[in-house]
Amino acid sequence: MNTHAPLSRRRFLRGTSIALAIPTFESLSSADRTVEQGPRRLVCVGNHLGFYPGNFFPESGGRDYQPPSTLKPLQAHRSDLTVFSHLDHQLNGGHKAVQGFLTGIKKEEASGFPTKNMSLDQAAAEHVGSDTRFPSITTAITNGTDMCWTRSGVHVPPVNNPAMLFQGLFVQASTTSRQAQRTRLKYRASVLDALRESASALNRTLNAADRNKLDQYLTSVRDVERQLQMSNYWINRPKPEAPIPELLNEERQHVDEVGLFYQLMALALQTDSTRVTTLETGLGFRTSELDLESYHAISHHGKAENRINQLQVVEAFLTTKLSNFISQLKEADIFDRTLIVFGSGMSDGSIHSNRDLPVLLAGGGINHQGHLICPDDQQKRIPLCNLWLSVLNWFGADAERFGRSTGTFSPMEIV
C-alpha cells in the first residue's frame, strides 16, 4: 500500500523553482570523400569574449582566401574547415546574449519554445543516450559562461579542473564508493516516484497556468530519471585504461589548462567515453600568462592598435590549441567522424555586439568550402540555428527544428 503523503498545491509548485545533414548539407556534402562507418562525434568550443572581426573573417570568399591572424594557426587544416560570415541569432544583450551561442534563445525568452533554450550539445547528447558512459562532457576555463542547457532549461555546470576530468574518465571508483553511489541512486529514484505519484493526483486540481508549470516540472523529473538510469547502467562497468600519466590536482596556469582540456576531450572521444563534448574559454581566462593586459580589457579595444595587436596574440593562441586538437583527432583516426563547432556568441567585444558571429566548422568528413559568405541583407539572412539543425541531422538526430531555425542550412542561400 502506498504510504506517501500527497504534496499540497503550494508545496509542490514551490518545488518547481528547485540542411547540413549528409543529404541536405549539399554544399558541404561528403560526396567527394569516403568516410568510415562508425559513431559520430560533436565538439563545441565557445569563447565568451568573441573574436575581433578583422582578425577572424577573411576578406574574400571561397577556398583561396588569405587567412587573417586568428585563422593562420589553422593553415595545416584549412581544407578541413569552413568559416561562415553573416550568421547569428538576431539576439541583443552583449554578455548576457553569449549564453545563446549554442541555443539561439536567451534564457529569459525560453518559456515560449518547446525545448526551452536547449543547447546544440545537449540535443546531440539526448540522441546518444546511454550508449556512452557520459552522454556529454562539458568543460570550461574557470567557471564557464552558461553555454550548455538541457531540454528543461537547466544550466549544465562545466568541469573546470583537468585533474577532476581525468578522474572521471579513467579512475575506477572503489567498491565502497560504488556501493554508496548505488544507495544514493536508489534513494533518489524513490523520491522521484513519490513526486510523480503526488503530481498525478495534483494535476486534476490545477488551472491551465499551473498545469503548464507542472508539466515543466515533470519534464525536469524525467530528465533526472534518465540520468539515474544511465548512472546505474555504467556504475560497475570498468573505465578504459589511461593512455597518459595521471593528472594530479594541482595549481595550473590557464594557458596550460586549455591544452590539457583539449587533450582530455580527444581521449574521451577516442575511448568512446563520450561522443559529445564542449569547452568554454574567455571570461576569467588569465591573459597575463601571455604577457597581455586583462582579456576583458583588451576585448574593449576601442579600435586602439595596441589592444587589437594583443587580441591577435590571445586569439591566435586559442586557434593554435584548436589546431593541435585537430591533429590529435587525425592521429586517432576519428577526425572525419567528428564535427567541431568553434566560435562565440559575441562578435566584437568592444561594442558588445551579438551580430555577425564568428563561426567555423571543422572535420566531419564533409566537403568544406573555405569561407562561405552568407547574405548580409536583413530580408535574406540565414538564422545560425539553421546551421545548428543541420549539424544535428549530420550527427544522426532526427530533428526538424532547433531553436529559431526556419529549416536546414541550404546551399541555395549562399551567395
What percent of the chain has a predicted confidence (pLDDT) above 70?
Answer: 76
| 284 and 198 belong to one structural domain | no
Q: 357 is in which domain, residue-wise?
A: 19-172+252-413
Q: What pLDDT score does 3 carry?
A: 42
Establish if 183 belongs to a structural domain: yes
The better pLDDT of the pair 213, 50 is held by: 50
The verdict on 113 and 207 lying in the same domain is no
Residue 197, pLDDT above cutoff 80: no
Q: Is the pLDDT of residue 104 over 50?
A: yes
Residue 35, SS3 per DSSP: coil
Cα–Cα distance between 176 and 231 in angstroms, integer? 16
User: Do 189 and 140 share a structural domain?
Assistant: no
Residue 5 lies in a domain: no
131 and 177, same domain (yes or no): no
- Residue 282 sits in the same domain as residue 400: yes
User: CA-CA distance, 267 to 244, in Å (whole number)?
Assistant: 9
Domain contains 7: no
Choose between 204 and 43: higher pLDDT.
43
Answer yes or no: are the C-beta atoms of 341 and 391 closer than 8 Å. yes
pLDDT at 283: 79
| Residue 53 pLDDT exceeds 70 | yes
pLDDT grade for 149, boundaries at 50, 70 and 90: very high
Residue 410: its pLDDT value, please?
Answer: 76
Q: For residue 12, is it within any domain?
A: no
Query: Is residue 99, in this structure, part of any structural domain at all?
Result: yes
Q: What is the mean pLDDT of the chain?
A: 84
User: What pLDDT band is residue 335 in, cutting at 50, 70 and 90?
Assistant: very high
Shared domain for 161 and 103, answered yes or no, is: yes
Residues 258, 278: Cα–Cα separation, whole Å = 12
Q: How many CB atoms sit inside 10 A of residue 4's CB?
A: 12
User: pLDDT tens, 382-393?
Assistant: 999 999 999 999
Assign 231 a pLDDT band (cuts: 50, 70, 90): low
Angle 147-152-157 (CA atoms, 0-180°, nearest 5)?
35
Q: Which of 194, 214, 237 is the last residue of a domain?
A: 237
Domain count, the chain: 2
Q: What values do phi and psi take at 412, rounded to 5?
A: -70, -15
pTM: 0.82
Query: Of 5-14, 166-175, 224-233, 267-276, where does the model show the most confidence?
Result: 267-276
Mean pLDDT of 297-318: 96
